[in-house]
A and B are shown apart, each in its own frame.
Chain A
Amino acid sequence: DSGVTQTPKHLITATGQRVTLRCSPRSGDLSVYWYQQSLDQGLQFLIQYYNGEERAKGNILERFSAQQFPDLHSELNLSSLELGDSALYFCASSGEQGGTQYFGPGTRLTVL
């Protein structure tokens, strides 16, 4: 158990819909990272927050957004969902920027 929690574990929705994925980092970790894992693209970095502020962006679609709240939990919002958004979404946290990232169990999103 990494100490990072993610909810929900599974999510099934339809094209065009909007969903919110939630992540709670390890106790005391200020940095939160979101990654997408699909069969054809592997693990891809989406976005990083540090103590509530966005710090880095990867290949994140404009339909996707995230935020980190004062209690340090983070949410990833995916809108106008397409079939190709079906993937595993992982959250990771680290105590410092550049430190070891510990991953949560992931949310499996299926878009029908």
Chain B
Amino acid sequence: GESVGLHLPTLSVQEGDNSIINCAYSNSASDYFIWYKQESGKGPQFIIDIRSNMDKRQGQRVTVLLNKTVKHLSLQIAATQPGDSAVYFCAELGGLNDYKLSFGAGTTVTVRA
């Protein structure tokens, strides 16, 4: 069977290593997913998005994977840097005519030097 990554509220990663942040979403009708990064005292910052007709999308040092079968989303950060320390949220748009974002609980990533 396929393993599904668990959502962890915190993640500690060594600088230079790759990070994987997992998220389970709830609405099977959701067709748009976004990862946000929130640093202390700031608003959520867009990182990368993916639509439900895709299963993978790559950006600069980041990759988002979508598994609709098990309603799972992951964010991979390559060569994690100290500036990547933040809280990461996945968010889903509910589908037809539903434009509000529903956010996951967030994962706090701490990068160790």
Contact = CB atoms under 8 A, between A and B. Distances in A.
Interface of A: 2, 4, 31, 33, 35, 42-45, 48, 55-56, 58, 90, 92, 94, 97-98, 100-106
Contact of B103 (A31, A42, A48, A104): A42
A103 B49 contact: no
Interface in B60-113: 89, 91, 93, 98-103, 105-106
Nearest to B96: A98
B55 to A, nearest CB: 19
B58 to A, nearest CB: 17
B32 to A, nearest CB: 7
B43 A2 contact: yes
Interface residues of B, number: 20
Given A42-B106, A43-B89, A98-B93, A103 B99 contact: no
B99 A48 contact: yes
Interface of B: 32, 34, 36, 42-46, 49, 89, 91, 93, 98-103, 105-106
Main secondary structure of the interface of B (DSSP, over half): strand
A62 B90 CA distance: 28
Contacts of B99: 31, 33, 48, 55-56, 94, 97-98
30 contacts: A2-B43, A33-B99, A33-B101, A35-B101, A42-B103, A43-B44, A43-B89, A44-B103, A45-B100, A48-B100, A56-B98, A56-B99, A56-B100, A58-B100, A90-B43, A90-B44, A92-B44, A97-B99, A98-B93, A100-B34, A101-B34, A101-B46, A101-B101, A102-B46, A103-B43, A103-B44, A103-B45, A105-B42, A105-B43, A106-B43
Contacts of B43: 2, 4, 90, 103-106
